[in-house]
Structure 1
């Protein structure tokens, strides 16, 4: 009697409810900042009951983290068979950030939670480190300063993104990308050129 529609309906309702709560939190963060938002605020904005809210989330932090999937998608580059240059993933990332500016501003802008910023930095650090390792000349080992350089590159990217989404300056993704690459590529290339050889005792 119910066919396919019946079993799917609860799933659709669950998705709609979760999405309404997630969007409500984003709106409230942009209005008053994450720390000032309460579960009661979110429930009222999403127009759901308290029991319904707690059937899906344990609290506002879990709602915040549930939005991370989209942020991780933004910060993960599309796989490329043969990158033409170092950090060519950065322009698509800046473009994704512009498309999802409201969400990114809520999650990692000044009004967002610091825990989310730390998570975003970890995601981006993994991407940068992987690219640097893949760009090492044949037979070279990662230099000891690799992680320090990764931290600096991630810091530069995040600083540009956060200032951008918070409206401190206006620029196109291409302009931001040029600024980012001019900051980080020379240092990354110098790091790769100084990578020690693979043989015992090399680079020591």
Structure 2
């Protein structure tokens, strides 16, 4: 890597880190470009060489992270999603990635976070699922429910479980969370919770 490329990467990393710390401290709306440059220890001219404004910095930070997430998580084959004997490798990679980037996700989804981040994350999951369903299940007429209903249900369920994990300070390991999400996804919530097996619904 050329020295100029290293400087660019370093400057952008410093500014993105400064953005996260300032959002965590006082929320995005209260942040100024001056706050960012002082926190990152770069001058204003350098900032504007890389970003139009703080919104551009935020958008690029989110885009970069979500693209990295998709690239890391993407399944190699259908078995990585449907194998019920163990945690799906896709879900293992999902929780590992979030664990490795804990501060970013906790800030973005925390009390001072960015509301649009969760919408963009859901949209990314939905796009990802739609592409994989078209690849692994190209005949939607043979599905028991419409594809879009399945996609919306699973994407918001995944986001809810991720939010819970972050809010609970990640008390469970990524592997444990991957096993739970695998069970819920493959079996469904009632079967995974033992309600169907124990005939709880019929006895209520």
TM-score interval for Structure 1 and Structure 2 normalised by the shorter chain: 0.7 to 0.9
Shift of 1:137: 8.0
Q: Matched residue pairs, number?
A: 182
Shift of 1:56: 1.2
Bigger mean CA deviation after superposition, 76-85 or 43-52: 76-85
Alignment map for 1:35-54 (pairs within 5 Å):
35-54=29-48
Bigger mean CA deviation after superposition, 80-89 or 11-20: 80-89
Which residue, 8, 17, 26 being the options, matches 2:11? 17
Partner of 1:69: 64
Matched, 1:86 2:87: no
- Deviation sequence 1:35-86 (CA, Å, 0-9, x none): 3322221111011112221221111121112222123222442441452443
Alignment map for 1:4-153 (pairs within 5 Å):
8-67=2-61, 68-76=63-71, 77-86=73-82, 88=88, 89-136=90-137, 140-141=141-142, 145-153=146-154
- Deviation sequence 1:155-185 (CA, Å, 0-9, x none): 1111121232233562112332233233333
Contact 1:156-1:180 within 8 A present in 2 as well: no
- TM-score, normalised with respect to structure 1: 0.74
- TM-score, normalised with respect to structure 2: 0.74
> Structure 1 stretches (4+) deviating beyond 4 angstroms?
137-144
Contact 1:129-1:150 within 8 A present in 2 as well: yes
- Deviation sequence 1:79-106 (CA, Å, 0-9, x none): 4145244383122101111111112222
Alignment map for 1:124-203 (pairs within 5 Å):
124-136=125-137, 140-141=141-142, 145-167=146-168, 170-187=171-188
Structure number with larger C-alpha Rg = 1
Contiguous gaps of at least 5 residues in structure 1? 189-204
Partner of 1:195: none
Partner of 1:197: none
Contact 2:140-2:146 within 8 A present in 1 as well: no
- Deviation sequence 1:95-145 (CA, Å, 0-9, x none): 111111112222334432122222211111122223334443879555662
RMSD, matched Cα: 2.8
